[in-house]
A = this chain, B = another copy of it.
Amino acid sequence: MEPNGQHSDIQTRNLRVLEALLFAAKEPLGADDLRPYLSENADLADLLDQLQQRYQHAGINLVQRGEKFAFRTAEDLSFLLRRDDVEQKPLSRAALETLSIIAYHQPVTRSEIEEVRGVATSKGTLDVLMEAGWVRMRGRRRTPGRPVTYGTTMGFLDHFGLEQITDLPGLGELKGAGLLSSNLPPDFSVPKPSDGDLTSDEDPLEPDDAGDDLLSDLDARNQPNET
């Protein structure tokens, strides 16, 4: 065999060994891990470079992590490694009630929701509504305690088939649909919801706003007496 052919045989073998080692390794491997398995005087950097090129367009790539190397799923295929497990659940009554108040009364604070509901609203209920993608924190009300204001989202409109939030039926329509009794107190009204820009008494949220309300616990405790 001519020297050149022999050289490329050794080269091929080195590449195969690297492939196998990197595949079987539990963690990225560095030069010290790899060199003992290669032929003497092998140019590790060059071999890794060749391997990197070989897998450049494959479903897996040879990636560098610091001084070490590992095979990883190609970034554009990373969706293959994610599974979405969707479980359909009916919304609890508390969540549904809270959602409806947010929808009509937005922008609304937690203590305002509680005022309408007559009971304290758990943070969990709001979390569920936010997880569902129907409710969002809009901003903070410019009142003492600066409570968070809640409103509905595009997802809310989508789910309930509304083109805009003002499509929610008003007083007359609710009565007309027989949902509301016609025997209403004279001062009864249904607010006109707005899910758009911040209102004049709302401040924007800080980028890292966790949405905690300073006074919410206090509010919640006082709630049952409040009505």
Residue on B with the closest CB to A83?
B24
Contacts of A16 in B (CB 8 A): 57-59, 74, 77
Contacts of A71 in B (CB 8 A): 23
Contacts of A58 in B (CB 8 A): 16, 19
Mask of A1-25 contacts with B, CB within 8 angstroms, 1/0: 0000000000010011111110110
Q: Assign chain A's interface to a size class.
A: 20 to 34
Residue on B with the closest CB to A23?
B60
Contacts of A81 in B (CB 8 A): 20-21, 24
Name the interface residues of A33-47: CB closer than 8 Å to any CB of B: 37
- Tell me whether A73 is interfacial, beta carbon within 8 Å: yes
CA distance A73 to B21 in the complex (A): 8
Mask of A62-94 contacts with B, CB within 8 angstroms, 1/0: 000000000101100100110000000000000
CB-contact partner of A73 in B24, B57, B59, B74, under 8 A: B24
**Can you list 11 A-B contacts with CB-CB less than 8 angstroms, sorted by A residue number?**
A15-B59, A16-B59, A17-B59, A17-B77, A19-B59, A20-B59, A20-B80, A21-B59, A21-B81, A23-B60, A24-B60
In addition to A21-B80, A24-B73, 13 A-B residue pairs with Cβ atoms within 8 Å of each other are A16-B57, A16-B58, A16-B59, A16-B77, A18-B59, A19-B58, A19-B59, A20-B77, A20-B80, A21-B81, A23-B59, A24-B60, A24-B80
